[in-house]
Structure 1
Amino acid sequence: MEPLTEHRPVAGPVVYGYLRPVRASTARQQALATSLEEYCRQHELLLAGVFTERSPAAAVAFTGLLDVLALPDTYGVVLPAASHLGPKAIAAERTRRIESAGARLLLVRGRRRPRPAGHRAAGQPSTGRACRRSPALDAET
Structure 2
Amino acid sequence: MEPLTEQRPVSGPVVYGFLRLVRVSQARHDALAASLTEYCRTHELQLSGIFSDRDATAGPVSAAFTGLLDVLALPDVYGVLAPSMSHMGPKAIATERRARIETAGSRLLLVRRPCPTRSSVDRRRSASRRPLRTVTVLDGAS
CA distance in 2, matches of 1:82, 1:116: 19
User: Which secondary structure does the structure 2 equivalent of 1:66 belong to?
Assistant: helix
1:6 aligned partner, one-letter code: E
Cα distance, 1:92–1:4 mapped onto 2, change above 3 Å: same
Of residues 96, 99, 102 in structure 2, which corresponds to 1:99? 102
Q: Indicate the residue corresponding to 2:136 in structure 1.
A: none
Who is 2:135 aligned against?
A: none
TM-score, normalising length from structure 1? 0.81
Query: What CA distance in whole angstroms lies between the structure 2 residues aligned with 1:5 and 1:76?
Result: 24
Match in the other structure for 2:34: 34
Equivalent position to 2:75, from 60, 66, 72: 72
Aligned to 1:110: 113
Query: What is the CA–CA distance in structure 1 between the aligned matches of 2:122 and 2:18, rounded to whole Å?
Result: 35
Does the Cα contact within 8 Å between 2:23 and 2:54 map onto a contact in 1?
A: no
- How many angstroms apart in 2 are the aligned matches of 1:117 and 1:87? 25
Q: Where is the helix percentage greater, Structure 1 or Structure 2? A: 2
How big is the shift at 1:22? 1.5
- Map 1:1-141 → 2, pairs under 5 A: 1-58=1-58, 59-114=62-117, 115=120, 118-120=123-125, 130=129
Check the 8 A contact 2:20/2:89 in 1, yes or no: yes
Name 2:140's counterpart in structure 1. none
* Separation in 2, partners of 1:86, 1:116: 25
The CA RMSD measured in Å over matched residues stands at 2.2
| CA 1:30–1:116: 2 relative to 1, 3 Å | closer
User: Which segments of 5 or more consecutive residues in structure 1 lack a partner in the other structure?
Assistant: 121-126, 134-141
Deviating more after overlay: 42-51 vs 19-28: 19-28
